[in-house]
């Protein structure tokens, strides 16, 4: 039963588009930075040791992000139970992201760069952890699949921003970082200013028997972890991968070209993700769609390993990203239904975020072991096998609605 006061004074949900826009802002906060701007900065600071330094940044950053996401998810749970909502933590995270970008811009040595990126990872998770919990609370179950499709908008939008940034040489390093901060604020502020956090009146805490089993939550997490290992490597090291394909004489325009490939790769799966997301709202065989998406991603990775030209490598990467993006987008929307306890959404989503951060550590280790500055073939084959394992694992989830 909904208390009379809630029936008399129902709260209005913000438009679904505001959640999608805020998610775009969250993705824009890290994707251009970690996929293009930081690798370019690393190459400028330590050209000969770029793989080692970037791997160090990735591993330490992932560890920081893991702890920060759990911490801020837990803190936002406490604020929510105290009636203050979660949006205050998002505001703190937004301010911290701006400060961290300034620190990255001023970094002139490897040590300074590592410290600045760790600060960024800490603050960006103060933004992202409450945002995910807010989406889990305020978006109704009937729209979770569509929400997954809308979440897929984050990557192409952020990739388009990356492409534009690296193509605008007049901006310079500081200008690029400033543009990202402005874009993130414009995307996130509307959701901060509209609506209040908390479960909607028709979505009270469910009785224990109707909650999804924790086993499904864990299996789904393991499946996503496998998929994300390849996603991390292909995003963080993509510029270096293409450097193994193209002649050294073409390196000057490579960041801009890679940015264009990124954008195209993330835009093409959008209609598929939206259609399948809507379809997933109406059917009960979601795990089979996810398994097929994982298979497509694995085939793309094998094609990347076999590619011998930048065009073939780009086509293979686009195939990989099509499968991976559909998997991650639909998985994100459906994850909300697997949360075992609505009272601890922020904490549990923080734990689930380990499927995004632990792959960075695993992926950096695999890259360090199997890749060289001139050859990524072996690591791509390993990633294809790990991706297939994730597709098989998702079939073990039995209780998804």
Give the model's confidence band at 209: pLDDT under 50 very low, under 70 low, under 90 confident, else very high.
Answer: very low
User: Looking at the predicted structure, is the pLDDT value of residue 227 above 90?
Assistant: yes
Structural domains in the chain, sorted by start: 15-396 (1.20.1250.20)
Whose CA is closest to 22, among 118, 150, 169? 150
Specify burial of residue 201 (Cβ count, 10 A radius: 0-12, 13-18, 19+): middle
> Quick one: tokens of 387?
């991706």
The reported pLDDT for the residue numbered 399 is 59
Identify which has the larger pLDDT, 307 or 346.
307
Share of the chain above pLDDT 70, in %: 84
pLDDT per position as a tens digit, 42-64: 988 888 788 788 888 988 998 99
Q: What are phi and psi of 399, to 5 degrees?
A: -105, 5
Q: Which of the 8 DSSP states describes residue 304?
A: H
User: Looking at the predicted structure, is the pLDDT value of residue 2 above 80?
Assistant: no
> Quick one: tokens of 166?
């690296």
User: Looking at the predicted structure, is the pLDDT value of residue 203 above 60?
Assistant: no
C-alpha to C-alpha distance for 211 and 135, rounded to whole angstroms: 18
User: Looking at the predicted structure, is the pLDDT value of residue 104 above 90?
Assistant: yes
Give the model's confidence band at 8: pLDDT under 50 very low, under 70 low, under 90 confident, else very high.
Answer: very low
Task: Give how far Cα 10 sits from Cα of 5, 223, 316, 357, Å.
Answer: 8, 38, 50, 38
Give the model's confidence band at 199: pLDDT under 50 very low, under 70 low, under 90 confident, else very high.
Answer: very low
- Per the CB < 8 A criterion, the answer to whether 50 and 87 are in contact is no
Whose CA is closest to 375, among 237, 266, 263? 237
Task: Give how far Cα 332 sits from Cα of 106, 113, 149, Å.
Answer: 35, 31, 9
Give the model's confidence band at 391: pLDDT under 50 very low, under 70 low, under 90 confident, else very high.
Answer: very high
Mean pLDDT check: name the lowest of 95-99, 183-187, 272-276: 272-276
> Quick one: tokens of 119?
């600060």
User: Looking at the predicted structure, is the pLDDT value of residue 86 above 60?
Assistant: yes
| Average confidence score pLDDT of the chain | 83
Identify which has the larger pLDDT, 3 or 322.
322
Give the relative orientation of helices 310-338 and 377-393 as an angle to the nearest 10 degrees.
30
pLDDT per position as a tens digit, 304-313: 999 999 999 9
- What burial letters (b/e) apply to 125-162, b meaning 16+ CB within 10 Å? bbbbbbbbbbbbbbbeeebbbbbbbbbbbbbbbbbbbb
- Per the CB < 8 A criterion, the answer to whether 275 and 260 are in contact is no
Mean per-residue pLDDT, 342-359: 80
pLDDT per position as a tens digit, 127-173: 999 998 898 888 776 666 666 666 777 878 887 887 788 777 778 88
């Amino acid at each position: 039963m909904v208390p009379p006061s809630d029936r008399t004074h129902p709260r209005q949900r913000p438009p679904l588009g505001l959640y999608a826009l805020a998610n775009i802002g969250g993705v824009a906060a890290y994707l251009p930075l970690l996929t293009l701007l930081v690798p370019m900065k690393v190459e400028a600071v330590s050209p000969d040791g770029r793989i080692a330094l970037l791997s160090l940044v990735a591993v330490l950053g992932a560890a920081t992000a893991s702890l920060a996401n759990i911490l801020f998810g837990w803190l936002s749970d406490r604020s929510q139970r105290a009636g203050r909502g979660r949006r205050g933590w998002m505001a703190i995270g937004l301010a911290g992201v701006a400060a961290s970008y300034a620190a990255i811009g001023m970094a002139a040595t490897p040590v300074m760069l590592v410290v600045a990126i760790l600060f960024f990872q800490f603050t960006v998770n103060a933004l992202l952890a409450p945002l995910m919990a807010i989406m889990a609370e305020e978006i109704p179950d009937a729209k979770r699949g569509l929400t997954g499709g809308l979440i897929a908008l984050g990557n192409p939008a952020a990739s388009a921003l990356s492409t534009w940034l690296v193509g605008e040489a007049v901006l310079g390093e500081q200008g690029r970082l400033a543009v990202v901060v402005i874009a993130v604020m414009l995307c996130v502020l509307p959701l901060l200013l509209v609506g209040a956090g908390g479960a909607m009146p028709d979505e009270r805490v469910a009785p224990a028997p109707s909650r999804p089993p924790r086993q499904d939550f864990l299996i789904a997490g393991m499946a996503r972890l496998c998929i994300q290992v390849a996603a991390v490597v292909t995003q963080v090291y993509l510029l270096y991968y293409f450097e193994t394909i193209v002649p050294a004489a073409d390196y000057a325009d490579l960041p801009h070209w890679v940015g264009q490939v990124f954008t195209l790769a993330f835009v093409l799966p959008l209609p598929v993700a939206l259609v399948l997301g809507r379809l997933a709202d109406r059917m009960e065989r979601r795990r089979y769609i996810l398994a097929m998406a994982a298979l497509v991603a694995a085939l793309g990775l094998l094609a990347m390993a076999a590619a011998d030209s930048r065009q073939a490598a780009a086509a293979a990467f686009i195939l990989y990203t099509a499968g991976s993006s559909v998997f991650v987008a639909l998985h994100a929307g459906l994850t909300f239904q697997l949360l075992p306890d609505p009272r601890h959404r922020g904490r549990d989503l923080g734990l689930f975020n380990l499927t995004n951060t632990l792959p960075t550590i695993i992926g950096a280790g695999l890259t360090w072991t199997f890749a060289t500055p001139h050859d990524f073939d072996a690591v791509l084959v390993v990633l294809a096998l790990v991706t297939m394992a994730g597709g098989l694992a998702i079939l073990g989830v039995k209780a998804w609605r």
